[in-house]
A and B are shown apart, each in its own frame.
Chain A
Amino acid sequence: MRFSELAEVMEKLEEITGRIEMTNILVKLFLETPPEIIDKVIYLLQGKLAPEYKGIELGIAEKMLIRSLSLSSGVPAKRLEELYKKYGDMGDVAYKIISSRRAATLLAFMGKTEEELSVEEVYNTLMKVAKATGPDSQSVKIRLIAGLFNKASPLEAKYLARIILGALRLGVADMTILDALAIAFAKTKDARPIVERAYNLTSDLGEIARIIAEKGVSALKEVRIQVGRPVRPMLAERLPTPEEILRKLGGVCAAEYKYDGERIQAHKKGDHVVLFSRKLEEISGHYPDAIEIVRRHVLAKEAIVEAEGVAVDPDTGEMLPFQELMHRRRKYGVKEAMEKYPVTLFFFDVLYVDGVDMTLKPYPERRAMLEKIIRVGDRARLATQKIVKSVEELEEFFELAISEGCEGLVCKSLSGNAIYQAGVRGFLWIKFKRSYQSKMIEPIDVVIVGAFHGRGRRAGTYGGLLVAVYDKEADMFRTVCKVGSGFKDDDLAKLPKMLEPYRIPHKHPRVDSKMEADVWFVPHFVIEIIGDEITVSPIHTAAMGRIKPGAGLAIRFPRFTGKYREDKGPEDATTVEELVEMYKAQLKKIG
């Protein structure tokens, strides 16, 4: 197949915005494409060489493309850079340059005419570019690309340049390609779900296309979930209120914590573990520790499981915000990041276990299987889950999730048809996230009323302090959070000694707490803390019932600012009134 045919289709697609028209053009293209290269045509249409999960990237930036084009055309790189600044698109630059060039290869002097570019040649050459390594690889890549430009027509050059730079934005969505494949090869739209399911299980449009083009739609039914190949994740719809969520799910659901971390799909085959991100990129390299957790805690020879990876402070056991985990998203320093932000996996679903495709089983069965194959440990846990039947139960569980650092809940259908819908965003799973948020913009002064024993590096000192604000009206101290972050080693070393004189064997009568601390103190010391926001919480007693019945206010992701307010007595701490005012003043609608 000539590359010019594909370039012409690309040109047409660029001018089209309607999905139906786009589909029709693709149907025609797919029928004209020899089945054995339809995968390559599809990858190129999407500006890639392979599905994301294979991690094959061209890695060519403008500079290198300019050098290739310069080598091919004889136009100095400086001039090309100027043109690029003027047009803002290397495709247009390539078009212009190749238009005004006369062929100047040796073949012309050998009495041979240059063959036209074929799709295979373009694909295979770009694959060589992607795979070139070693000391001379730069110059090899430049020559390979220049070789393509030497054979290209202006239009071909335009799309070559865009493909190479990853700037081919035709807007050909996966779903449009699936539509076109179903119409082209099954002649009926009924085949669409079969095509889509095969895609959702393999995450490889090219392969699906080849199967249907070569063997027909019935062969697609044979496509199976496979360890090592990412499955397109099931996604949750969103509803704003707990009432609507419960109604939609038939009055009862399994509510699961929605952790503020990275969704990880883990594939285990014996001792070999591969991890994929939500976008199906391989992320094994970022999470050597997660691989180890899966190896040790997933009790199956072969399995595909899903978990939320969350950074947990090794000293306090508290979950850290998502941003902390993003330190892992880099090529270097993974080891350091791993020590500083070790990941804990909260498993929430299982897609495959030892030969059994679990995606077709209902959620309760999958959860039961998950509970069976996960050996729970410190860093391998099951997503906290509760079966809820009322709005009140759902709200309370939601607030608990928020105060523990989660984003909210995912409410899952318990019905018999609640299968794992790979690649689908549907109402079998419904997100319950907050629609309001109260940012914390200034620190508050809190009184230390209790403490928790430390573990690990903090053994022998305190792992966290229970702190409270002052309720002037009742002359009580009401808890607002447990704080463990922000303490330096010096602080930790002196805390037990500093607090010892105030230690008492039971909760102080002026302290109101639902939380059971390991150690209690007479309210005396005041420290300054700040957090990300002030949230409604069922477990803290500050401003209980003021914002919401049965719930108080709490500080989310609190940390010590380093300031001991020795100048302040406990009654000088931030008051409940002030906290309520701060909450209201900063309350903003989100999402």
Chain B
Amino acid sequence: MSFRFALSSANVFLNIVAAIKEIVDEAAFKISPEGVSLRAIDETKMAMVDLMLQNHFFDEFECTEESLIGLNMSEFHKVLKNSIKRGRQLTVNLPSSEAGMLTIHITNGARITHNVPLIGIEYSELPTLKLETTARLVVETDSMKEAVEAVSRYHDNIIFTATPDEFTVEARSERGSAKYTLTQMELINLEVDEDLVRSAYSAEYLKKIFKHKKLSPTIFLEFSSDGPLRVKYPLEEGVAELNYYLAPRLYE
């Protein structure tokens, strides 16, 4: 088990870890000659995060055989956050000088070295989620964050509705209701295969999912009626992306 990879912007890596820790506390990166990936489902089995970083996404990448790197993501994030500032570079190494550790160097002139303990994780390959989506849109990350914040005070179930002309986010209860509308004009792209596509999702998860503008200012949304939601943060077209999947709320 050995590998080494480097990124000229350490911030990118920090943002990726921040996005993962929203969903899973403990997870494993899979490092292979092709690149770095991670697919993990949260404890409730309602949300999943799927990361793919191909080897040429990195400035340097060396890996001869596959390894699994189990980490406590909250702890890992804390460690990185305190050392990473804009303009710093990052390298990640295994084996480390200390057994059972992952070595991380963060540099811009001075060099900070962290040895982070690896944790054992029962790893089982999650099956791919095959989605047949009928609504697909591209939207600004901030709009989605704003939409969920605006309507979620009325209910934890947030209803997404797409028609060929517009996309709405709404919530309703006895205490009132709110609706956030984005027309073709405000959306970067909108493709809807049916007259009306409607599904509900948990506000608690949507809030976690839409807060990563730093990963990408625009995101891809896909869903179908009463089907899971896919949110894609493109990092580099075709080379690196982070996807969230969220189970729908179903009504009786």
From B46, B131, B252, residue with most partner A Cβ within 10 Å = B46
- The range of chain A's interface size is 20 to 34
| Inter-chain contact B156/A72, CB cutoff 8 Å | no
Question: Is A70's CB within 8 Å of the partner chain B?
Answer: yes
Task: Give chain B residues whose Cβ lies under 8 Å from the Cβ of A104.
Answer: 46, 247-250
- Minimum Cβ distance to chain A for residue B222 (Å): 13
Partner of A76, one of B46, B127, B173, B228: B173
| Inter-chain contact A72/B44, CB cutoff 8 Å | yes
Task: Give chain A residues whose Cβ lies under 8 Å from the Cβ of B227.
Answer: 109
Question: Is A150's CB within 8 Å of the partner chain B?
Answer: yes
Question: Is B157's CB within 8 Å of the partner chain A?
Answer: yes
What is the CA–CA distance of A135 and B75 in the complex, to the nearest angstrom? 9
Partner of A147, one of B44, B155, B249, B252: B44
| Inter-chain contact B131/A150, CB cutoff 8 Å | no
Task: Give chain B residues whose Cβ lies under 8 Å from the Cβ of A146.
Answer: 43-44, 46
What is the CA–CA distance of A147 and B248 in the complex, to the nearest angstrom? 15
25 A-B residue pairs with CB within 8 Å: A71-B44, A72-B44, A74-B249, A100-B252, A101-B252, A102-B250, A103-B250, A104-B250, A105-B45, A105-B247, A106-B47, A106-B228, A109-B131, A109-B227, A109-B228, A110-B126, A111-B127, A112-B127, A134-B74, A134-B75, A135-B74, A146-B43, A147-B43, A147-B44, A151-B45
| Inter-chain contact B48/A106, CB cutoff 8 Å | yes
A146's closest neighbor in chain B, by CB?
B44
Question: Is A391's CB within 8 Å of the partner chain B?
Answer: no
Question: Is B165's CB within 8 Å of the partner chain A?
Answer: no
Question: Is A25's CB within 8 Å of the partner chain B?
Answer: no
Question: Is A140's CB within 8 Å of the partner chain B?
Answer: yes
| Inter-chain contact A76/B155, CB cutoff 8 Å | yes
Q: What 0/1 pattern do residues 103 to 142 of A give for CB contact below 8 A with B?
A: 1111111111010000000000100000000111000100
Task: Give chain A residues whose Cβ lies under 8 Å from the Cβ of B252.
Answer: 100-102
A128's closest neighbor in chain B, by CB?
B43
What is the CA–CA distance of A101 and B48 in the complex, to the nearest angstrom? 21
| Inter-chain contact B156/A114, CB cutoff 8 Å | no
- Minimum Cβ distance to chain A for residue B125 (Å): 11
Q: A104-B247, A111-B127 provided; 10 other pairs, C-beta below 8 A?
A: A77-B156, A103-B250, A104-B249, A106-B47, A135-B74, A140-B25, A143-B43, A146-B43, A146-B44, A150-B45
Task: Give chain A residues whose Cβ lies under 8 Å from the Cβ of B250.
Answer: 101-104
A108's closest neighbor in chain B, by CB?
B247
| Inter-chain contact B129/A110, CB cutoff 8 Å | yes
A114's closest neighbor in chain B, by CB?
B45
Question: Is A9's CB within 8 Å of the partner chain B?
Answer: no
B72's closest neighbor in chain A, by CB?
A134
Given contacts A104-B46, A143-B42, A146-B44, are A74 and B156 in contact (CB under 8 A)?
Answer: yes
Task: Give chain A residues whose Cβ lies under 8 Å from the Cβ of B21.
Answer: 136
B78's closest neighbor in chain A, by CB?
A135
Task: Give chain B residues whose Cβ lies under 8 Å from the Cβ of A360.
Answer: none
Question: Is A194's CB within 8 Å of the partner chain B?
Answer: no
Task: Give chain B residues whose Cβ lies under 8 Å from the Cβ of A150.
Answer: 44-46
Partner of B245, one of A72, A103, A106, A151: A106
Q: What 0/1 pattern do residues 52 to 79 of A give for CB contact below 8 A with B?
A: 0000000000000000001110101100
Task: Give chain B residues whose Cβ lies under 8 Å from the Cβ of A100.
Answer: 252
Q: What 0/1 pattern do residues 219 to 252 of B give for CB contact below 8 A with A?
A: 0000000011000000000000000011111101
What is the CA–CA distance of A104 and B46 in the complex, to the nearest angstrom? 7
What is the CA–CA distance of A77 and B131 in the complex, to the nearest angstrom? 30
Question: Is B11's CB within 8 Å of the partner chain A?
Answer: no
Question: Is A144's CB within 8 Å of the partner chain B?
Answer: yes
What is the CA–CA distance of A223 and B25 in the complex, to the nearest angstrom? 40
Hey, which bits of chain B sit against chain A, CB under 8 A?
Answer: 21, 25, 41-48, 74-75, 78, 126-129, 131, 155-157, 173, 200, 202, 204, 227-228, 245-250, 252
Given contacts A106-B228, A110-B127, are A76 and B43 in contact (CB under 8 A)?
Answer: no
Lowest 7 CB-CB distances: which A-B pairs, in order? A147-B43, A105-B45, A74-B249, A143-B43, A146-B44, A102-B250, A147-B44
- Number of cross-chain contacts by CB at 8 Å: 81
A112's closest neighbor in chain B, by CB?
B127
Given contacts A74-B202, A136-B25, are A105 and B44 in contact (CB under 8 A)?
Answer: yes
Task: Give chain B residues whose Cβ lies under 8 Å from the Cβ of A102.
Answer: 250, 252
- Minimum Cβ distance to chain B for residue A144 (Å): 5
Task: Give chain A residues whose Cβ lies under 8 Å from the Cβ of B127.
Answer: 110-112
| Inter-chain contact B129/A143, CB cutoff 8 Å | no
Task: Give chain A residues whose Cβ lies under 8 Å from the Cβ of B45.
Answer: 105-107, 114, 147, 150-151
- Minimum Cβ distance to chain A for residue B172 (Å): 11
| Inter-chain contact B41/A106, CB cutoff 8 Å | yes
From A71, A74, A102, A105, residue with most partner B Cβ within 10 Å = A74
Given contacts A74-B157, A111-B127, A112-B127, are A144 and B249 in contact (CB under 8 A)?
Answer: no
What is the CA–CA distance of A110 and B48 in the complex, to the nearest angstrom? 12
From A72, A77, A103, A104, residue with most partner B Cβ within 10 Å = A104
| Inter-chain contact B25/A105, CB cutoff 8 Å | no
Task: Give chain A residues whose Cβ lies under 8 Å from the Cβ of B47.
Answer: 106
Partner of A71, one of B78, B173, B202: B202
What is the CA–CA distance of A110 and B131 in the complex, to the nearest angstrom? 9
- Minimum Cβ distance to chain B for residue A164 (Å): 14
- Minimum Cβ distance to chain A for residue B117 (Å): 14
What is the CA–CA distance of A561 and B131 in the complex, to the nearest angstrom? 81
B228's closest neighbor in chain A, by CB?
A109
The B-contacting residues of A in range 17-63, CB under 8 angstroms, are: none
| Inter-chain contact A74/B44, CB cutoff 8 Å | no
- Minimum Cβ distance to chain A for residue B153 (Å): 11
Task: Give chain A residues whose Cβ lies under 8 Å from the Cβ of B131.
Answer: 109
What is the CA–CA distance of A566 and B131 in the complex, to the nearest angstrom? 95
- Minimum Cβ distance to chain A for residue B81 (Å): 11
| Inter-chain contact A144/B43, CB cutoff 8 Å | yes
Partner of A74, one of B48, B75, B200: B200
Q: What 0/1 pattern do residues 193 to 216 of A give for CB contact below 8 A with B?
A: 000000000000000000000000
- Minimum Cβ distance to chain A for residue B61 (Å): 30
Given contacts A135-B74, A147-B45, are A106 and B25 in contact (CB under 8 A)?
Answer: no
B42's closest neighbor in chain A, by CB?
A143
A79's closest neighbor in chain B, by CB?
B173
The B-contacting residues of A in range 516-544, CB under 8 angstroms, are: none
What is the CA–CA distance of A105 and B205 in the complex, to the nearest angstrom? 13
- Minimum Cβ distance to chain B for residue A154 (Å): 14
What is the CA–CA distance of A49 and B166 in the complex, to the nearest angstrom? 52
From B43, B78, B227, B246, residue with most partner A Cβ within 10 Å = B43
Task: Give chain A residues whose Cβ lies under 8 Å from the Cβ of B129.
Answer: 106, 109-110
Task: Give chain B residues whose Cβ lies under 8 Å from the Cβ of A101.
Answer: 250, 252
